[in-house]
Structure formats: structure tokens, C-alpha cells
Chain A
Amino acid sequence: MLVSIYRYNPDTDDKPVMQEVEVQLPEGKDLMVLDVLELVKRKDPGVVYRRSCREGVCGSDGMNINGNNGLACITPMSEAVKPGGKLVLRPLPGLPVIRDLVVDMSIFYKQYEKIKPYLINDSAPPAIERLQSPEDREKLDGLYECILCACCSTNCPSFWWNPDKFIGPAGLLQAYRFLADTRDTADAERLAELDDPFSVFRCRGIMNCVAVCPKGLNPTRAIGHIRSMLIQHGT
């Protein structure tokens, strides 16, 4: 199997290059892309990438696999590469490259921080915990599962163009996660922070985020809900 991998060290290289490495895959096994990357690393220990849990929970190994963003650890080779094709690995697009497949995610986290990703409730806390009905808890399904791998935001043209102003699908999914939480009492403040032409309204609904989310979440729908809430509060 031929693997084409993006190599770039900004400290020493003038420009990035695609390095081709031939690796031998075991017969009869559908390896994950991360396994193949480990085989590449055995041949060339200088290849740099992030990884941790290897089961789609930590979100460290988000990368561009044959043109689609995804988690290397849960993307099977059979899905990533057409028969007879080669595996092409690039860093997540739109973020500065630190080295090879490792990107600087500072701006992504900055946008996440903007939406205040924590419960705000000024009333006195009860003795044990703030209870929620099963129906209210259900409203958080499809929202809380996000692992912040950045596959969605770095697949969004609006985020490429305005990464400093547009919150991005990952941040907005989490913004709605707290807007939808019945225990949170800061809806008005949260919505006021989002009502500018960039934070939410740069989403054009092209659904690239939905297409690549490794957890099968739907940020576009969450953004639609935020828009509806803004309309309800603002008109």
C-alpha cells in the first residue's frame, strides 16, 4: 500500500512536501488509518502526528484522509481508500501547521471558549445536585457527545475565511448544548453574545460539518435552533 503523507517542519523547511512511503499491510485485515500510520512511523520515525485513545474518544488524531476530515483511529482503510488507490494524509485544513500532521488548534479553542462552555446558573445550588427531568435531559442528546476533534470546523469554508470571528460548527454545537440545557439560566446573555453578523450567521448551511463528524452529530441543525432562538428573542 502506497501512503502519501504531508511533511512539513516550519523551522527548517521552505514549503511542505508530500512524501510517499510503501508499507506492507497484513492480508485479510481491514486496518484503521491510524494502524497504517503506525506502520509508516516504523519505517520513518520522524513522522509527527497526535494520537491517544485509538478508539474515537479523545479526538486527537483528526486529520484529512484522502480529502475528507476524520479520525484516523476509527476510519477503516476500506472506507478511506478505493481499491487499488493510495492513502493520502494531510493535516486538518485551515489551521497553522506545527509539524507534519499536527496543527495549532489555538484559534479553534478560542472560539470554543467564547461560547462559555459551562453551566451558568445564579440561583443557590441545591444540597446535592440540580435535577433534570428525563425529557429535559433528552434535549442534550446529539449535543454533549462532541469530542472537539475539530474535523467539522476545519471542513467549513466560513471557518477558513473568518476563523477569528465565526465560532464554527463545533463551538456552535456546544453553544446550543448550553442553550438547550434547562439548568442553565443565561440564555439571554448567551444569545446576545451570538447576535452579530459573524458568530452564527456566517453559517451558510452547506453541511460539510455534518458530512464529516466522526460522532455522527449534526451541528447545522443546532445552528438552526440557535437562529430560531435568536428570532424568538429578537423579534
Chain B
Amino acid sequence: MVTNVTNLGRSGLHDWIIQRFSAIILAAYSLCILASFVINPEMDFEKWSSIFDNNAMRLFSLITLFALCAHAWIGMWTISTDYITSLQFGGRATFLRLVFQAACVLLIAVYLLWGIQIFWGN
């Protein structure tokens, strides 16, 4: 068993389930957005903005935002542990992987906070 890991769910099964559930949420949200364009062919800012005035839509957006962040972190963590390894980068691998993962965490945190501000701010 590989125990020295920094993944999200602390087990392979957790990550696998989180990734699949978050993918379902993301797909459902994408369909919802697509449907709003189909229902409103003359979409303008007023209509677009009114969709997100609805609390249910705001909540769905927040859940989707969390799902996106979890999905992105699991994906980026997996990519980093596949490609940035000592086989490819020798002794520098750990440092490079840590920098890459830190940059991903920072970016995801910014997107999350920014997203919350957009959906729930003024």
C-alpha cells in the first residue's frame, strides 16, 4: 500500500468516488446552463442575471463550484504524480511537483473565493 500521499480524499476510493460524483454535478450544471440558453433564445444580461438571482440556482452554482474545485484538484494531483516523477526529473522531481501542486491549490482557492463572491456577493 502506498501511504505517502497528498491526495484529496486520503484513499484511492474516496478520490475515485469524489471525481465521479463531481463529474455528474458538472454535467448536470452544464446541461442546466445549456437549457437556459435554449429556453431564452434572446438571452441578454438582464435575463442572464435574473437566472442567478434565484436562490436555488445560486445554491446549485455553489455546489458546482465546490465540485469543480474537488474535480480539478484530484485531476491536477494525478497529472502531477504521473508526469513529475523522479523517473523524468531525477532529484528535482519532489521540488517541481510541490511547486506545481502549490500553484494548483492557489489557483483553485482563488477561483473558489472569486466564484463565491460572484454568486453570493452584491
Q: How far is the CA of A162 from the CA of B7 in the complex (A)?
A: 15
Interface size on A, residues (CB 8 A): 20
A154 CB to closest chain B CB (Å) equals 14
Which interface residue of B12, B81, B83, B87 has the most chain A CB atoms within 10 A?
Answer: B12
Answer yes or no: A197 CB below 8 A from chain B CBs: yes
Known: A161-B82, A162-B82, A165-B2. A199 touches B12 (CB 8 A): yes
| Interface residues in A146-205 (C-beta closer than 8 Å to B) | 158, 161-162, 165, 192-202
| Contact in complex: B17, A198 (CB < 8 Å) | no
Q: How far is the CA of A234 from the CA of B12 in the complex (A)?
A: 11
Q: How far is the CA of A231 from the CA of B13 in the complex (A)?
A: 7
Closest B residue by C-beta to A158: B82
Chain B interface residues toward A at CB < 8 A: 1-3, 5, 7, 11-13, 15-17, 78, 81-83, 85, 87
Answer yes or no: A47 CB below 8 A from chain B CBs: no
Q: Which residues of A contact B1 (CB under 8 A)?
A: 192-196, 199
17 A–B contacts from the bound complex (CB under 8 Å): A161-B82, A162-B81, A165-B2, A193-B1, A194-B12, A196-B3, A197-B5, A197-B7, A197-B15, A197-B81, A201-B12, A201-B15, A202-B82, A227-B16, A231-B13, A234-B13, A235-B13
Closest B residue by C-beta to A160: B87
Q: How far is the CA of A158 from the CA of B78 in the complex (A)?
A: 11
| Contact in complex: B13, A198 (CB < 8 Å) | no
| Contact in complex: A230, B2 (CB < 8 Å) | no
Q: Which residues of A contact B15 (CB under 8 A)?
A: 197, 201
| Contact in complex: A199, B2 (CB < 8 Å) | yes
Q: How far is the CA of A201 from the CA of B81 in the complex (A)?
A: 13
Closest A residue by C-beta to B6: A197
Q: How far is the CA of A158 from the CA of B13 in the complex (A)?
A: 17
Q: How far is the CA of A70 from the CA of B5 in the complex (A)?
A: 34
**Cβ contacts A197-215/B at 8 Å (1 or 0 each):** 1111110000000000000
Chain A interface residues toward B at CB < 8 A: 158, 161-162, 165, 192-202, 227, 230-231, 234-235
Q: Which residues of B contact A202 (CB under 8 A)?
A: 82
Q: How far is the CA of A196 from the CA of B14 in the complex (A)?
A: 9
Q: Which residues of A contact B83 (CB under 8 A)?
A: 161
Q: Which residues of B contact A230 (CB under 8 A)?
A: 12-13
Known: A161-B87, A165-B2, A235-B17. A195 touches B12 (CB 8 A): yes
A-B contact sample (12 more), CB < 8 A, given A162-B81, A197-B11, A227-B16? A161-B82, A194-B12, A195-B1, A196-B2, A196-B3, A198-B81, A199-B1, A199-B2, A201-B13, A202-B82, A231-B17, A235-B17
Q: How far is the CA of A198 from the CA of B85 in the complex (A)?
A: 13
Closest B residue by C-beta to A191: B13
Closest A residue by C-beta to B83: A161
Q: How far is the CA of A158 from the CA of B82 in the complex (A)?
A: 7
A190 CB to closest chain B CB (Å) equals 11
Q: How far is the CA of A230 from the CA of B11 in the complex (A)?
A: 11
Q: Which residues of A contact B16 (CB under 8 A)?
A: 201, 227
Q: Which residues of A contact B13 (CB under 8 A)?
A: 195, 201, 230-231, 234-235
Q: Which residues of B contact A199 (CB under 8 A)?
A: 1-2, 12
Q: Which residues of A contact B81 (CB under 8 A)?
A: 162, 197-198
Which interface residue of A162, A197, A201, A202 has the most chain B CB atoms within 10 A?
Answer: A197
